Amino acid sequence: MSKLRLTISMSLDGYVAGPNQSEENPIGEGGLAVHEWFFPLKEFKEMHGDAGGVVNESSPIVIERRENVGATIMGRNMFGPIRGSWGDESWRGWWGEDPPYHHPVFVLTHHARAPLEMDGGTTFHFVTDGIESALAHAKAAADGQDIWLAGGAETVNQYLAAGLVDEIDVSIAPVILGAGERLFAGLNPNSLKLEQTRAVQAPGVTHIKYKLG
Amino acid sequence: MSKLRLTISMSLDGYVAGPNQSEENPIGEGGLAVHEWFFPLKEFKEMHGDAGGVVNESSPIVIERRENVGATIMGRNMFGPIRGSWGDESWRGWWGEDPPYHHPVFVLTHHARAPLEMDGGTTFHFVTDGIESALAHAKAAADGQDIWLAGGAETVNQYLAAGLVDEIDVSIAPVILGAGERLFAGLNPNSLKLEQTRAVQAPGVTHIKYKLG
């Protein structure tokens, strides 16, 4: 059975991005600090075609998170800084012509757009009819593999509120952002049942995994 | 040097107590779930004069947290359910005549009250002139030992905002409360510098410790 797996980094105060996201600040002001544990890793360098990097306790976590994933779901604010209509459609994502997904990516948006085929197996599909539809499309595309729920907070919180998430794997960074996009906001008390299945201490981060019942 | 150590349990969505705290629900609706990892422990049973209980990965954490602590600071909402004036002063805390502190406890309040000497070495002192004053009194009383900053969220957030906390040791429970008293709320971006010094996986909880710079 194909699972919907939330994999995300957040600050200790629960933010996955800082305030005022823009083309200059894709993760909002100060938001990059939430991902700082990731950048020195060999796996991160490889993803971007670079050599070098370190191997530490985060490495097996990062590898595990990419295993058996056949499709990704994200919100349109994670895909780009453009709000409202797509304009001339020149925006093709943050990741260049060969994005690090290598599988179909379903972008939730209110604005229709034709699929965008990139190099390396990544195609961005724009879904305008809601989170259930995006999940159905992603499951069909993943062909039995799991779906990565990538962000941002608003999209993730919608999936959590709907009870559609099977697994949460959250990396808690030693950072207080103070403002921005807050994960787990607006959920109903007792609407989710979590079982902690793993916690790993790594340099500058703690990775905790939960199964949702 | 006497350190101010925040030791607290919170839900994955950042709440240390549920909504609507009352005498029937000291930790708010659903809030007890945040402490569920603690109740089966031998250390918890001993604290309450009971035999039995289990020893697991949380045990050394709980023991460490009580070591070298000479005084405690808490908000008046943690001391009791009474809001406003103290009335007939019959409220003597949640913990019976022999509270599990065994040292001076400084309770932040807007309403003056004479010190309350309990059995077993615990005396509750009521401080009406602010967080710096409570900390100064606690340091004097602790005589070189550390101060435990116990809660609740509002009190802790004031100490964090003032940059007075030296260490955060937070137990993250696999619970989504959805509402209540939120830790780390209202802090300014970049106002705190955290270094993760330890993360421990234990049954039903993850304990993460930070040093504040």
Query: Residue B29 half-sphere exposure, CB side, CA atoms within 13 Å?
Result: 8
Question: Residues of A with CB below 8 A from B17's CB?
Answer: none
Best mutation target among B34, B190, B197, B210 (most A Cβ atoms within 10 Å) is B190
Q: What is the mean pLDDT of chain B?
A: 96
The residue-averaged pLDDT of A10-31 equals 94
Residues A38, A56: Cα–Cα separation, whole Å = 10
Residue B172, phi then psi, degrees to nearest 5: -100, 115
Q: What pLDDT band is residue B47 in, cutting at 50, 70 and 90?
A: confident
Judge whether residue A191 has pLDDT over 90. Answer: no
Between A83 and B174, where is the model more confident?
Answer: B174
Whole-structure pTM value? 0.96
Using a CB–CB cutoff of 8 Å, tell me whether B163 touches chain A. Answer: no
Sheet bearing B4-11, strands edge to edge: B116-117, B123-127, B104-108, B69-75, B146-151, B4-11, B167-173, B205-212, B194-202
The residue-averaged pLDDT of A94-119 equals 96
Window A:98-127, CB contacts with B under 8 Å: none
Predicted pLDDT at A128: 97
Residues A64, B53: Cα–Cα separation, whole Å = 36
CB–CB of B71/B104 below 8 Å? yes
Which residues have a Cβ under 8 Å from the Cβ of A11 and sit 6 or more positions away?
Answer: A33, A34, A172, A173, A175, A176, A177
Task: Write the pLDDT tens digit of every residue in B58-102.
Answer: 999 999 999 999 999 999 999 998 888 999 999 999 999 999 999
- Closest Cβ–Cβ partner in A172, A179, A194 for B208: A172
Tell whether domain A4-87+96-212 is in CATH 3.40.430.10: yes
Q: What is the mean pLDDT of chain A?
A: 96
ipTM exceeds 0.90, yes or no = yes
Q: What pLDDT band is residue B190 in, cutting at 50, 70 and 90?
A: confident
Share of chain B above pLDDT 70, in %: 100
Whether A190 sits inside 8 A of B178 (CB atoms) is: yes
Q: What CATH fold (topology level) applies to the domain B4-84+96-212?
A: Dihydrofolate Reductase, subunit A (3.40.430)
- Closest Cβ–Cβ partner in A189, A194, A201 for B12: A194
Predicted pLDDT at A88: 92
Predicted pLDDT at B82: 86
Between B24 and B207, where is the model more confident?
Answer: B207
At residue A137, the 3 state secondary structure works out as helix
CB–CB of A18/A160 below 8 Å? no
Using a CB–CB cutoff of 8 Å, tell me whether A185 touches chain B. Answer: yes
Predicted pLDDT at B148: 98
- Closest Cβ–Cβ partner in A177, A190, A195 for B30: A190
CB–CB of B171/B10 below 8 Å? yes
Judge whether residue B49 has pLDDT over 90. Answer: no
Question: Residues of A with CB below 8 A from B208's CB?
Answer: 12, 172, 206
Tell me the nearest-neighbour CA distance from B164 into chain A, angstroms. 15
Whether B172 sits inside 8 A of A208 (CB atoms) is: yes
CB–CB of B161/B191 below 8 Å? yes
Residue type present at position A106 = F
Predicted pLDDT at B36: 97
At residue B166, the 3 state secondary structure works out as coil
Whether A206 sits inside 8 A of B208 (CB atoms) is: yes
Alpha helices in chain A (DSSP H): 42-47, 58-66, 76-79, 131-142, 153-161
**Neighbour count for residue B1 (Cβ, 10 Å):** 6
Distance set, CA B17 to CA A107, B26, B93, B173, B186 (Å): 36, 8, 17, 12, 17
Q: What pLDDT band is residue B29 in, cutting at 50, 70 and 90?
A: very high
Residues A212, B167: Cα–Cα separation, whole Å = 31
At residue A10, the 3 state secondary structure works out as strand
Using a CB–CB cutoff of 8 Å, tell me whether B184 touches chain A. Answer: yes
Using a CB–CB cutoff of 8 Å, tell me whether B170 touches chain A. Answer: yes
Q: Minimal CA–CA distance to B171: which of B21, B27, B6? A: B6
What are the extents of the domains in chain B? 4-84+96-212
Q: What pLDDT band is residue B42 in, cutting at 50, 70 and 90?
A: very high
Predicted pLDDT at A47: 86
H/E element, A81: none
Q: What pLDDT band is residue A58 in, cutting at 50, 70 and 90?
A: very high
Residues B7, A203: Cα–Cα separation, whole Å = 22
Q: What pLDDT band is residue A1 in, cutting at 50, 70 and 90?
A: confident
Tell me the nearest-neighbour CA distance from A135 into chain B, angstroms. 23
- Closest Cβ–Cβ partner in A12, A186, A188 for B194: A12
Judge whether residue A37 has pLDDT over 90. Answer: yes
Share of chain A above pLDDT 90, in %: 92
**Neighbour count for residue A23 (Cβ, 10 Å):** 10
Residues B209, B3: Cα–Cα separation, whole Å = 14
CB–CB of A71/A105 below 8 Å? yes
Q: Which residues are A146's β-sheet partners?
A: A69
Whether B199 sits inside 8 A of A200 (CB atoms) is: yes
Predicted pLDDT at A190: 80
